[in-house]
Amino acid sequence: MRREHLLATTPNPAFKRRGTVITTQPVSGVEAPPQQHSPFKIHTRLLMIEKFLDYLKYNRNYSDETIRSYALDLRQFSDFLGKAEKEEKEKLLLTATQLTLRAFVTSLFKQNYGKSTIRRKISTLKSFYKYLVRNSYIDDNPADILIVPKKEKKLPKVLTVDGMFRLLDSVEEEEPKGKFHLAMLELMYSCGLRVSEVRSANIHELDSKKGFIRITGKGNKERMIPVGKKAIKAVQAYLQTEEFAQARSKSDEKPLPLFINAKGKRVSVKYIHSLVKKQSMLSANGTEFSPHSIRHSFATHLLNGGADLRSIQEMLGHSSLSTTQQYTHLNVGKLMEVYDNNHPFNKKKK
């Protein structure tokens, strides 16, 4: 479906209902501005979902990666409803019952999805149907009855400092893409970046001279993060390679991404996951780590080195300190040492 003027036109009467009365008037103050278009590449081809994604982008200011997750979740749910023509599928979305949504969630458990993934998908459905109710497309939110699984309390999987160094050293710089791979891994560890932030980083946001990079994280919130000399050196080496020059000449991306593939496109999240998995398997005797393990390791190593939680919170881009505090239980011994050495009641008398 072409998206031009999607939000400027009145909705199809078959899609919008207020009680038993059909109406074509949009609800003011809720729809996204008509002059802007969605940048997402996950095309659901369904009007209600596309409008909801635009709302998240332009009214809620959600990041592209977050909206991509919403799009994938809703596309999966629409596929669950069965094969049908577009207009019929729209009606299935609008008339989905509590039993339908429960059946969908049950199917996720049967497919062995993790609790955190199921939590996200339920949250997506709740937000989507809440949006439909607020805009009077439906009267009641069928997702209200869904129970969100309790959040799993798992210890973050982290590498030791030596383990992290071994992972970085496992990259052969002189191999094809070696400098490209090392630059990504060094920057991830130096700055504690999310995998989505590595993908979305742009060249102009890195200030090599001052040793800082500007990162746009969740909720499109920007933060400045220090970059270590080792990471800067690795990134500069990558930017001077012939493979980067060739990829850059093919790129039509604006702004120019920091990490691009041979076709000149942004490196994918899947590619970054595969890289970390491959190098961790090579360097850790078959133990598999993820990009988030590197982020956890970054924070844990800083905490062990004496950094305060507030500083770590700023660098990680956490909106709440309670999110950052998940790292403290890994380092109780270190925290007790800091407490004993610095609390006035515990300092040894000279």
Of 301, 279, 305, the C-alpha closest to 291 is 279
In whole angstroms, what is the distance from residue 221 CA to residue 202 CA?
15
- Give yes or no: 327 in active site: yes
- Give yes or no: 17 in active site: no
- Give yes or no: 194 in active site: yes
Q: Could you tell me how many residues make up the chain?
A: 350
DSSP letter for 37, please: -
Element (H, E) at 145: none
What backbone torsions phi and psi does residue 170 show, to the nearest 5 degrees? -75, -15
Q: Quick one: angle between helices 161-169 and 269-283, nearest 10?
A: 110
Bond prior to 255 in cis (omega within 30° of 0): yes
Burial of residue 52 (CB within 10 Å: 0-12, 13-18, 19+) is buried
- Give yes or no: 181 in active site: no
- Give yes or no: 43 in active site: no
Of 158, 185, 157, the C-alpha closest to 169 is 185
In whole angstroms, what is the distance from residue 338 CA to residue 150 CA?
33
- Give yes or no: 218 in active site: yes
| Active-site choice (194, 199, 296, 301) | 194
| Active-site choice (62, 189, 238, 327) | 327
Nearest 5°: the CA angle 69, 192, 342 is 130
| Active-site choice (179, 295, 296, 301) | 295
Burial of residue 273 (CB within 10 Å: 0-12, 13-18, 19+) is middle
In whole angstroms, what is the distance from residue 285 CA to residue 109 CA?
32
| Active-site choice (214, 218, 223, 334) | 218
| Active-site choice (120, 230, 277, 292) | 292
**Residue 243 to residues 117, 176, 258, 260, 276, Cα–Cα distance (Å):** 36, 9, 13, 10, 21
Of 236, 238, 182, the C-alpha closest to 209 is 236
**What amino acid positions are annotated as catalytic residues?**
194, 218, 292, 295, 318, 327
